[in-house]
Amino acid sequence: MAVGILEVSLISGKGLKRSDFLGKIDPYVEIQYKGQTRKSSVAKDGGRNPTWNDKLKWRAEFPGSGADYKLIVKVMDHDTFSSDDFIGEATVHVKELLEMGVEKGTAELRPTKYNIVDSDLSFVGELLIGVSYSLLQDRGMDGEQFGGWKHSQVD
């Protein structure tokens, strides 16, 4: 099993549907990977076309437990006086990215637009997201020299 860092670059959103009838939205994103959730900053003044430029990271094992190699990306509207509103979500499949990263040491999905859909699968906007995976360097004994070993070789 290989261990690495899965990094999501949350760049921007476009055309996000309003959940509030009053005023503008203050969107943020929650991304879940295998039960671990990371939250972006709230894009104040972003409205329907927010910019985040956030980087969110997870420790990822491949192959790991379960077969759900996907990021669940939920777009939420931050509300000060009530609970936050769900705008919509997208799914980013990362199995092939992890496979390639394990094979080559690193892999990247260039920033791509993902459609955001609400609970009845209606289109409610899009997100621009990039994803990368890099193996953690093995902290084993590679390259370490043990005293006396070289001296015991017969020339």
The answer to whether residue 152 is domain-embedded is no
Q: How confident is the model at residue 23 (pLDDT cuts 50, 70, 90)?
A: low
Question: Is the model's pLDDT at 142 over the cut of 60?
Answer: no
For residues 77 and 85, the answer to whether their CB atoms sit within 8 Å is: yes
Domain that holds residue 47: 2-135
The answer to whether residue 154 is domain-embedded is no
Q: What is the pLDDT of residue 79?
A: 85
**pLDDT of 29-84, one tens digit each?**
999 999 899 999 999 877 899 999 999 999 999 998 778 899 999 999 998 888 99
The answer to whether residue 145 is domain-embedded is no
Q: How confident is the model at residue 147 (pLDDT cuts 50, 70, 90)?
A: very low
- CATH number of the domain that 19 lies in? 2.60.40.150
The answer to whether residue 146 is domain-embedded is no
Question: Is the model's pLDDT at 155 over the cut of 80?
Answer: no
The answer to whether residue 35 is domain-embedded is yes
Q: What is the pLDDT of residue 64?
A: 82
The answer to whether residue 150 is domain-embedded is no
The answer to whether residue 114 is domain-embedded is yes
Tell me the two tokens of residue 102.
């394990």
The more confident residue out of 146 and 64 is 64
The answer to whether residue 149 is domain-embedded is no
Q: What is the pLDDT of residue 32?
A: 97
**pLDDT of 87-113, one tens digit each?**
999 999 999 999 999 999 999 999 999
The H or E element containing residue 27 is strand 27-33
Total domains present in the chain: 1
